[in-house]
Amino acid sequence: MSIDLTEALASLRLGRQSARTLLSDSLARADDAACEHVFLRRFDEDARAAAEASDDAAARGGPRPSLGGLAVSVKDLFDVAGHPTTAASAAMDDAPSAERDAPAVARLRAAGAALIGHTNLSEFAFSGVGINPHHGTPRNPVTRAIDGLDRIPGGSTSGGAVSVATGAAWAALGSDTGGSLRIPAGLQGLVGFKSTARRVPLDGCVPLAPSLDTAGAITRSVRDAALLHGVLSGAPVELDDRPLSAWRFAITPTFMQDDLDPAVAAAFERALTTLRAAGARIEERALPALPRVAELQTQGGITAAEAWAWHHARLAERGDRYDPRVAMRIRRGEAILPAAYEALLDARRRWIADMTAAMSGIDAFLSPTVPLQAPEIAPLLSSDVLFFATNARLLRNTAVVNLLDGCAISIPCERPGELPVGLMLWAPAMQDRAVLSAASRVETALAAAAEIR
């Protein structure tokens, strides 16, 4: 898209556009074929009311709400008053309508967001691929415009990312347990910010793994990510305007850069070269504890254990209505006994301490968001082996940050006309403002280099 939410809001304030007109355009895009399988239910009437309220406030000479009555989509994990929440699963298709908004949704609504609908996802948010056998799989609109192929959108916030990439929404509320905001953002040339988990309340959200779940947004720019994080966290973010040369970045030589697709490796190295030329200080920093992340993921790790605790009764009653690939991964948690689960939590605490100590003095680490570009959908539908191998690769880098209880952002680093590649900036817990601020400077440098070319 040519403009972001921040620019659209400026246009509203200057009287160049109305919220009604901008919302009408968003709803038309939501009706377009590019949004096939994106929305599970629409909230058009409520959205129009929010746009009208914004315009009416401006007509009376008052201020518009901070999100201006503009379109924001909601992942079908979050309660929206008057609508069911089904986690894109046939096993939840008789869920009652929610009596109240989830706090994250309520904060968006209070800020004037025009909530346009519940978006599709990997069932119960348990996949980084984005395939959904119940409701269909949204096609990646960005890659399709480049090569015409039907490629995955990335998951689990698949529909949310497509809603932003197509212009149906200016931002998408989603979740991130192992990368579900950053993966689809990385595969679609968008921005996905995973905050420190405790920053945004998760009440009224269908859980996957409460120890790792995070609520956040997919946007078109870093400044939009900061705006949405301020709304969702209840604490507005003022970005640090220090120049790029004032930030300390690092790359770790192993793990995060292993087994990269050649196009991803080339885009990542080109981004590092561009940033160094723009004055960034980037050092190589070993993280000896990083490979131990595999120990935390044995038998599905914390995610499987906590997912099993929430799903086991429903699986016993309705297991035949689950996506078999999701059910299989959840059932792995049955073998993780309470003592083993407690041992995993203890190992995670020690690992976080070791990682945080080794990352000291660095503002943000840089890595590819995912090691590959978006693969085609069809082969993944027909092969479980390929699906699970691809899912593991997609989640490898991003899941590190969830286990770290850290924060991270994915921003585009591909050249125009190339399939999207995400660049991830990541740091330990509670460094959200620093990561957003550094990412803003990185985004500016990469954009300037692209214009020169």
User: What is the set of active-site residues?
Assistant: 75, 156, 180
Provide CB contacts within 8 A for 45, sequence distance 6+. none
Q: Residue 259: is it exposed, middle or buried by C-beta count within 10 angstroms (0-12/13-18/19+)?
A: exposed
Q: What is the sign, positive or negative, of the torsion defined by CA atoms of 188, 107, 441, 9?
A: positive
Q: What is the DSSP string of 366-407?
A: EEESSSSPPPBHHHHHH-HHHHHHHHHHHHHHHHHHHHHT-E
CB 6 within 8 A of CB 227: yes
A 10 A CB-CB count for 276 gives 14
| Helix, strand, coil distribution of the chain in percent, nearest 5 | 50, 15, 35
d(CA 118, CA 157): 11
Strand locations in 163-321, DSSP E? Answer: 171-175, 191-194, 215-219, 248-251, 281-284
CB 105 within 8 A of CB 173: yes
